[in-house]
Amino acid sequence: MPDTLTGRRRSLLHETRCQTCSLSSLCLPLALEVQDMDQFDAIIRRRAPLKKGETLFRQDSPFTSVFAVRSGSLKQVTTEGSGEDQLTNFYLPSELVGLDGIDEARYPGTVVALETTTVCEIPFDRLDSLSESLPELRTQLYRSMSKELRDDRRMMRLLSRKTADQRLASFFAGLSDRFRRRGYSPYSFRLSMSRADIGNYLGLAVETVSRILGRFQSQGLVAVSGREVHILDLEALTQVAEEEGAK
Amino acid sequence: MPDTLTGRRRSLLHETRCQTCSLSSLCLPLALEVQDMDQFDAIIRRRAPLKKGETLFRQDSPFTSVFAVRSGSLKQVTTEGSGEDQLTNFYLPSELVGLDGIDEARYPGTVVALETTTVCEIPFDRLDSLSESLPELRTQLYRSMSKELRDDRRMMRLLSRKTADQRLASFFAGLSDRFRRRGYSPYSFRLSMSRADIGNYLGLAVETVSRILGRFQSQGLVAVSGREVHILDLEALTQVAEEEGAK
DNA sequence: CGTCAGATTGACAGTGCTCAAGTCCAGTGG
DNA sequence: CCACTGGACTTGAGCACTGTCAATCTGACG
């Protein structure tokens, strides 16, 4: 694939410049000035889209880059010792994947595309040096990591104090919110993950997920058909998620 | 408390300089050269020791600093909505407290001393600027946050896939390891937290904690007397923690 | 020595897991 | 176009783990 590609490559690059990216207000360069954004843009490597089921990187492979999701979605799965897999995160557009690999210089989980997915690869060493001269970028990086820490704490609370009903209600309310922030409908979306994925993530058996979804449906909270979801009563759902008298 | 204090203050400062701190090889400035460490040292604010039960900062108060634990231990507790409190972390010497407050510019939980505890206060804005000129410091900060992310993921796995026995075994094995890394005996230590704290942290009822500790004791894994812990068979304990066939 | 929080122990019940069928759906090949 | 097939999903029945409630015990401290 020689030079002929360069032209196409460039136009692809153009299409995917941060400045023209619809996610720029949510993504890492969010606070950068135009000229700084160009610098940032320059270190990014575009990638061919991942197809459903393809892996972005594998657990324990050397950490080189973080990735920003442009479109689609991914899951992170960690296999530890003899135990079962644990699905530790779903990633949606504008979110940063791989930050937990910095410390040990290897990725602590395998990340797999749940649907056709495009990502921007950001080599970490270059991001780090660039963050030296661009304080806003550095701040944003600290903030991204800090936010992930906060989200993790919320997840721990969910896993240790919430009933199955509350977990699922939280999950759907959370998804709804994440879609809304990205400009999609908060009431109507398609799940890219299977029931098994949801169960694994929330610490529930698949059967429990299925049953409770059925109950939510009969209670008029949501309408679910396969992976198509319509949230009918977001307020009630949020209320279930935060209900007093857990467990 | 006028000038007479200055002398004492200075000597206190001297005692607590990073260069003479026994934790320097575990703490934030771990990778710094001597002269850089002085710079780092200069931004640190020493604090009067916290007594047991005193709070370092409260949930939702403005984020200004991160704190490095010098001695003692703390717990972080998050109260959310109508729900019960969730204990999200225990902090031991050399660990960094408050990193999850960067993003929203307020602390997401209240941090309370479990015993007499001394901390180094590191104003974040100054840490951030210093991290511009000291790449090693920046790297270490990224790494600290990344490590916390990894630990959180491990915690999620614990909460969603492990039985009560496995949780407690993991908890004790983890504590043992953290003590060992800090140069204390991995086999013999004193818990600074109550059973209720442990239960809250692990997502278990106090009664369950108590029962399982009793069982571990009769199985010869540990000897527990109040908060005094002796680990008798660390290998077996680790094995319980990672047992196949969860739940 | 009394007090009170923290810890232990016991009885019981509920949530959610396991095991087991059965149904639905998308993709495949005739 | 349609039957086929395998995976994903749903539904049902039983039971185990662990939470709840309640009573008792222990130990630190005044």
3-state secondary structure chain A: CCCHHHHHHHHHHHHCCHHHCCCCCCCHHHHCCHHHHHHHHHHCEECCCECCCCEEECCCCECCEEEEEEECCEEEEEECCCCCEEEEEEECCCCEECHHHCCCCECCCEEEECCCEEEEEEEHHHHHHHHHHCHHHHHHHHHHHHHHHHHHHHHHHHHHHCCHHHHHHHHHHHHHHHHHHCCCCCCEEECCCCHHHHHHHHCCCHHHHHHHHHHHHHCCCEEEECCEEEECCHHHHHHHHHCCCCC
**C-alpha to C-alpha distance for B111 and B77, rounded to whole angstroms:** 6
Of the candidates B104, B159, B161, the beta carbon closest to that of A156 is on: B159
Cβ of A243 within 8 Å of Cβ of B82? The answer is yes
**Which residues in chain B have their CB less than 8 angstroms from residue A142's CB?**
102, 128, 141, 145
Cβ of A160 within 8 Å of Cβ of B202? The answer is yes
pLDDT (tens digit, 9 = 90+) per residue, A169-182?
999 999 999 999 99
Between residue 75 and residue 114 of chain B, the positions with Cβ below 7 Å from nucleic chain D are none
Looking at the complex, report in whole angstroms how far the Cα of residue B27 sits from the nearest Cα belonging to chain A: 14
Between residue 164 and residue 223 of chain A, the positions with Cβ below 7 Å from nucleic chain D are 194-196, 206-207, 209-211, 213-214
Cβ of B150 within 8 Å of Cβ of A84? The answer is no
For the CA of A191 and the C1' of D4, the distance in angstroms is 27
Cβ of A157 within 8 Å of Cβ of B131? The answer is no
Residue B121's alpha-carbon distances to A12, B4, B138, B209, B236, in angstroms, are 48, 23, 17, 34, 39
pLDDT (tens digit, 9 = 90+) per residue, A130-189?
999 999 999 999 999 999 999 999 999 999 999 999 999 999 999 999 999 999 999 999
Of B246, B79, B139, B53, the C-alpha closest to A127 is: B139
Residue B245's closest chain A neighbor by CA?
Answer: A83
**Residues A75, A197: contact at Cβ < 8 Å?**
yes
pLDDT (tens digit, 9 = 90+) per residue, A26-47?
999 999 999 999 999 999 998 8
Cα dihedral B184, B189, B190, B194 sign: positive
SS3 B11: helix
A108 CB contacts (<8 Å, ≥6 apart)?
A59, A78, A100, A101, B150, B153
pTM, whole model, 2 decimals? 0.91
**Residues A68, A28: contact at Cβ < 8 Å?**
yes
**C-alpha to C-alpha distance for B184 and B182, rounded to whole angstroms:** 6
- Return the pLDDT at B1: 46
Looking at the complex, report in whole angstroms how far the Cα of residue B197 sits from the nearest Cα belonging to chain A: 13
Looking at the DSSP assignment, which residues form a beta bridge with residue B113? Answer: B74
- Return the pLDDT at A2: 47
For the CA of A38 and the C1' of D19, the distance in angstroms is 56
**C-alpha to C-alpha distance for B93 and B156, rounded to whole angstroms:** 23
Q: Give B147-213 as a 3 state SS string.
A: HHHHHHHHHHHHHHHCCHHHHHHHHHHHHHHHHHHCCCCCCEEECCCCHHHHHHHHCCCHHHHHHHH
**C-alpha to C-alpha distance for A28 and A136, rounded to whole angstroms:** 10
Q: How many CB pairs under 8 A join A and B?
A: 156
For the CA of A115 and the C1' of D9, the distance in angstroms is 19
Q: Which of the residues in chain B have pLDDT under 70?
A: 1-15, 82-83, 244-247
- Return the pLDDT at B246: 43
A18-152: which CATH topology? Answer: Jelly Rolls (2.60.120)
Q: Beta carbon of A156 within 7 Å of strand D? A: no
What are the sequence ranges of the domains in chain A? Answer: 18-152, 160-242
Looking at the DSSP assignment, which residues form a beta bridge with residue A85? Answer: A79
Looking at the DSSP assignment, which residues form a beta bridge with residue B230? Answer: B188, B223
Pick the CATH number of B160-242 from 1.10.287.1080, 1.10.10.10, 3.10.129.10, 3.30.565.10: 1.10.10.10
**Residues A233, A220: contact at Cβ < 8 Å?**
yes
pLDDT (tens digit, 9 = 90+) per residue, A105-131?
999 999 999 999 999 999 999 999 999
- Return the pLDDT at B5: 46
Cβ of A108 within 8 Å of Cβ of B141? The answer is no
**Which residues in chain B have their CB less than 8 angstroms from residue A132's CB?**
132, 135, 138
For the CA of B228 and the C1' of C3, the distance in angstroms is 24
- Return the pLDDT at A173: 97
- Return the pLDDT at B17: 86
Cβ of B153 within 8 Å of Cβ of A99? The answer is no
Residue A244's alpha-carbon distances to A188, A241, B82, B197, in angstroms, are 27, 9, 6, 21
**Residues B37, B19: contact at Cβ < 8 Å?**
yes
**Residues B218, B173: contact at Cβ < 8 Å?**
no
Structural tokens at position B122: 């590191």
Q: What is the average pLDDT value for chain A, to the nearest integer?
A: 91
Looking at the complex, report in whole angstroms how far the Cα of residue A46 sits from the nearest Cα belonging to chain B: 24
Is residue A247 scored above 50 in pLDDT? no
For the CA of A69 and the C1' of C25, the distance in angstroms is 30
Q: How confident is the model at residue A15 (pLDDT cuts 50, 70, 90)?
A: low
Residue A83's alpha-carbon distances to A12, A58, A79, B162, in angstroms, are 43, 17, 7, 9
- Return the pLDDT at B80: 85
Looking at the complex, report in whole angstroms how far the Cα of residue B102 sits from the nearest Cα belonging to chain A: 6
